Amino acid sequence: MATDISKITEKSPWQELTEGNKVYGGATSVHFHTGEWRTNTPVFDADKCTQCLLCAPVCPDSSIPVENGERGDFDLDHCKGCGICAKVCPFDAITMKEGK
């Protein structure tokens, strides 16, 4: 029997979680803060950023918010620290630091 995922919150009792913490419904990833798994953390230097936005589409976790054509700081609740964004940034505006 699947649990109604829309009712699960960060403070839900373990009895309400699905087996293996599987997500059964679409658009429910906001309920799971997968950034807690991160071992490396991206650091954004806004002074070096030219807003080329090369980083945003390569982020597999959609952790780089873009509004009005400009990127914001990272959504660390969902970033897993893969470092792809730092590798594609030609201006060294993103560096990776070890730890959270």
pTM above 0.75, yes or no: no
Q: Which residues pair with 70 in a beta bridge?
A: 67
Q: For the chain, give every domain's residue range.
A: 1-32, 38-100
Q: With contact defined as beta carbons under 8 Å apart, do 23 and 44 qualify? A: no
Phi, psi torsion values for 52, nearest 5 degrees: -70, -20
**CATH assignment of 38-100, given 3.40.50.300, 3.30.470.20, 3.40.630.30, 3.30.70.20?**
3.30.70.20
**Computed from CA positions of residues 6, 57, 50, 98, in that sequence, does the dihedral angle turn out positive or negative?**
positive
Distance from C-alpha of 4 to C-alpha of 53, rounded to nearest angstrom? 36
What are the tens digits of pLDDT across the range 28-70?
666 777 777 788 999 999 999 999 999 999 998 889 999 999 9
